[in-house]
Amino acid sequence: MSKLLKKLKHALKQKKKISKSESVGVEERVVDISEEVLDDGYLDVQEDKTVVIFAVGGTIATRTNEEGYLVPAMSGEELCKEVPEILDFCNVEVVNFSCVQSTAVTPEMMLELSKQIQKTLQRPEVSGVVVTHGTDTLEETAYFLSISLSDEFQNQNSKPIVLTGSMRGGDAVGFDGLSNLLSSVKVACHDVEDNTPQVVVCFNDEIHAASRVQKTHTSKTSAFTSPGWGPVGYVDEDSVYFRAGALNQDTGFNFPTPDKLTANVEIVKAVTGDKGQYIDYLISQDIQGIVIEGFGRGNLPPEMMPAVERALNAGKEVVIATRVASGRVLDSDGSPGSVKDVIQAGAILGGESTSAKIRLLLMYLLSQPKALELRKEDPELFRAYLQECFDPVLSERLFSVK
Ligand code: ASP
């Protein structure tokens, strides 16, 4: 702990209890953990800040069962009790949102989580939120939270939303969930600065933008990276540093958050010799959008093109992603099946996001009632809107309506 912080702590030392808060959660339980954590039942808080921890599940909540497998078993309070140091930084409340492996987290759960977090952050005493989550789909939930913050919310809100988890189980030697939780709480106490993202993933003391972060290793505690970008900041002892000029907010969309996710979107991975049979199958299904992972810059095998055209003619939205780990999808190639061809046919380019994130964004956009109205009234303007949401750098070049 830094000398300055020690001095501050001393100066600010106050006898203060964690308060029970108003109810916000599904299956929620907000508890007073102070008495169990600290001998005298009082907190020594640095400032009058409250961080709300939404426990979703994942390895960070697991224990090994009798058969030797990891299963989510720990509540948010149980986890917090193992890291009493978090109370050096803030008051803590826990919302037990769910207790599942992240493979069971759905886009609908992400929307519900987003609503609850936005409501929570409106409380003046809450300085930020930490979400503990399984690592397998953590990047998708982080991304969904970033795209579903209403414009009004993100313009006025400097409160961070920090996602974290662990790679080792709760009873393993070197359980990384404790240090990840502590570092995430530190980030959640830190105001979002201009030019830094509001939704971040904090893992292994690195801070990553929700739009760029990916799980890039199946077992290492340094599993999260942002290919092609790097972290936007880091935690060093008690301090949080953001890199100057970090990525901007991910959102900025004009339409309000939808009440429900009504759209279905599927992902198709292009393979050599692909004739688009899977796309043809999807055309007959109740889906509104298809994300296609092309090769390199997003180019498709020539024989796949007719199926893409059929999908567009059938009213499905098509967004192009890439199978490559990082880099932007772009129309730089002129051969048959190239990105140039798919743009001409009416597809949208997905920018630098992974196909899983593009799918979530397309589901989200196609569930916005106002966007659907626009789609009916002015399809070209709607496409410009979509392109703007996926890759504003390209929308200006591709659409004169902007
Ligand atoms: N299976 C776990 C999950 O819920 C993996 C983890 O949390 O690391 O994603």
Contact between 168 and 58 (Cβ < 8 Å): no
* Pairing of β 233-236 and β 239-242: antiparallel
Provide the β-strand partners of residue 234: 206, 241
In this structure, the answer to whether residues 81 and 164 fall within a common structural domain is: yes
The active-site residue, picked from 59, 62, 164, 196, is 59
How deeply is 23 buried, as exposed, middle or buried, from its count of CB atoms within 10 A (0-12, 13-18, 19+)?
A: exposed
101 lines ligand 1 (CB under 6 A): yes
In this structure, the answer to whether residues 88 and 196 fall within a common structural domain is: yes
Last residue of a domain, one of 199, 221, 250: 250
Q: If you measure from the C-alpha of residue 40 to the centroid of ligand 1, how many angstroms do you get, rounded to a whole number?
A: 36
In this structure, the answer to whether residues 295 and 354 fall within a common structural domain is: yes
Last residue of a domain, one of 190, 215, 250: 250
In this structure, the answer to whether residues 246 and 311 fall within a common structural domain is: no
Residue-level pLDDT at 399: 76
In this structure, the answer to whether residues 19 and 137 fall within a common structural domain is: yes
CA-wise closest residue to 380 among 400, 355, 354, 352: 400
Q: Is 381 part of any domain?
A: yes
50 lines ligand 1 (CB under 6 A): no
Q: Is 57 part of any domain?
A: yes
Q: From the alpha carbon of 105, which atom of ligand 1 is closest?
A: 4
> Where residue 57 sits, what CATH number does that domain have?
3.40.50.1170
Q: If you measure from the C-alpha of residue 100 to the centroid of ligand 1, how many angstroms do you get, rounded to a whole number?
A: 9
- Cα 98 from Cα 109, distance rounded (Å): 9
151 lines ligand 1 (CB under 6 A): no
For the question of residue 59 being annotated catalytic, the response is yes
Residue with the nearest Cα to atom 1 of ligand 1? Answer: 101
180 lines ligand 1 (CB under 6 A): no
Q: From the alpha carbon of 104, which atom of ligand 1 is closest?
A: 4
Residue-level pLDDT at 191: 86
Q: Is 367 part of any domain?
A: yes
- Cα 34 from Cα 201, distance rounded (Å): 26
Residue with the nearest Cα to atom 8 of ligand 1? Answer: 135
224 Cβ partners below 8 Å, 6+ apart? Answer: 135, 138, 139, 201, 203, 204, 206, 208, 213, 214, 215, 216
Last residue of a domain, one of 222, 250, 278: 250
Q: From the alpha carbon of 102, which atom of ligand 1 is closest?
A: 4
Q: Which amino acid is at 332?
A: S
CA-wise closest residue to 55 among 36, 30, 35: 30
In this structure, the answer to whether residues 230 and 327 fall within a common structural domain is: no
Q: If you measure from the C-alpha of residue 126 to the centroid of ligand 1, how many angstroms do you get, rounded to a whole number?
A: 28
In this structure, the answer to whether residues 230 and 366 fall within a common structural domain is: no
Domain count, the chain: 2
- Cα 362 from Cα 266, distance rounded (Å): 10
Contact between 90 and 132 (Cβ < 8 Å): no
Q: Is 166 part of any domain?
A: yes
Residue-level pLDDT at 97: 98
102 lines ligand 1 (CB under 6 A): yes
In this structure, the answer to whether residues 286 and 363 fall within a common structural domain is: yes
In this structure, the answer to whether residues 232 and 299 fall within a common structural domain is: no
Q: Is 42 part of any domain?
A: yes
In this structure, the answer to whether residues 134 and 203 fall within a common structural domain is: yes
In this structure, the answer to whether residues 278 and 224 fall within a common structural domain is: no
Q: Is 259 part of any domain?
A: no
- Cα 130 from Cα 52, distance rounded (Å): 6
- Per-10-residue mean pLDDT, the chain, length 402: 35 34 34 36 54 98 94 95 94 97 97 96 94 98 92 75 97 96 96 85 97 96 95 90 62 74 98 97 98 97 98 98 93 92 96 95 95 93 91 77 46
> Where residue 334 sits, what CATH number does that domain have?
3.40.50.40
Q: Is 258 part of any domain?
A: no
Beta strands in 216-278 (DSSP E): 224-225, 233-236, 239-242, 265-269
Print the domain residue range for 347: 265-398
Residue-level pLDDT at 397: 76
Q: From the alpha carbon of 62, which atom of ligand 1 is closest?
A: 7
In this structure, the answer to whether residues 276 and 165 fall within a common structural domain is: no
Q: Is 146 part of any domain?
A: yes
